[in-house]
Structure 1
Amino acid sequence: MTDELLVVRCRLGEREAFAELVRAWHDPVWNYVRRMLGPAQADDVAQEVWVAVVRGLPRLREPGRFAPWLFTIARRAVADRLREEYARPEVLTEEERATGDPADALADRAGLLAGLSELPVREREILVLFYLHDLSLEDCAQICAVPVGTVKSRLSRARRMLRDRLTEKGYRE
């Protein structure tokens, strides 16, 4: 069943349709949030995203554009959380510094994820949306509220920055 049809069914009050949307999109949203904020905050922020979806679904003008709309909401939730974090002074205990996502520690992509997490937010966001969520340049532009040309330049800069960081750590092309 298409997202568009599920959105229309949700608007008609079908709870099962919303449950299907959540089943289909929870993991991509959670992964996006985790890559932007880290595993400690992923559950809370992903839940905030779904609350915003419930509230905003009646106002979605183009049901066929559900995915970009959903990631726009997720992006705003991430930005809100980052603003909160930047406003607070950073004080981590030794235990918090040592605790990581066990799944990432076991993954072969640990170096890539570490390099990705070191990138500035704008560049990291474009890489996550484009490569990890397979969104088009146009969808990325809509989500980030920038022109497609800006997405292309951020994508190019992000790839270069990630390559440089990985090279510094001893990874080869």
Structure 2
Amino acid sequence: MQIEEIWPNYRARIKAFLHSKVANPADVDDLLQEISIKVFTGLPTLSDPSKLQSWLFQTADRTIIDFYRKNARAKIVDPEDLWYSSDDPGIRQELENCVEPFIRGLPAETAKLLMDIDINGMSQKEYAKAHGLSYSTLKSRVQKGRDDLRKAFDDCCNWTMDTRGNIAEYHLKPDNCKKC
């Protein structure tokens, strides 16, 4: 298979695919050029010619994903868009003092997991490897542990959230939770 045989047959379809995913025509042309280079360099590695079309569109799809990732990183962030810009430091400090006691109130295995990952800064991949767990299993356990931690906070406090999802204020529930 040669690029000269393939590219003319698929170029228009790939360009239409790009137009369906990317609004700016100049970006479409740039991406089409990038895809053609990837096809030219990667074509010799394609072992099954019957998978040519799916390989071409997978290449196009990955190129689009890379394009959006690159543009997301390059975006200039306005301080007004940051979630913490209206955070009340006093409320945050008070609640930070409760995190460890609430974690320690969880089952021992969950507490160790959250302490190592969320408090001590161990990466989830490192933790999974050190404890002989698959990464996907660990991610599920971390999510469940964080949900349990959130429930511990919910059991103890009433929350008021602002429009950005930040805690505007909180009050202890009448049963006077004394976990923190």
Considering only CA atoms, is the larger Rg found in Structure 1 or Structure 2?
Answer: 2
The answer to which structure has the higher strand fraction is: 2
Higher helix proportion? 1
Give the TM-score taking structure 2 as reference length. 0.40
> TM-score under structure 1 normalisation?
0.41
Larger relative contact order (Cα-Cα within 8 Å, sequence gap ≥ 6): 1
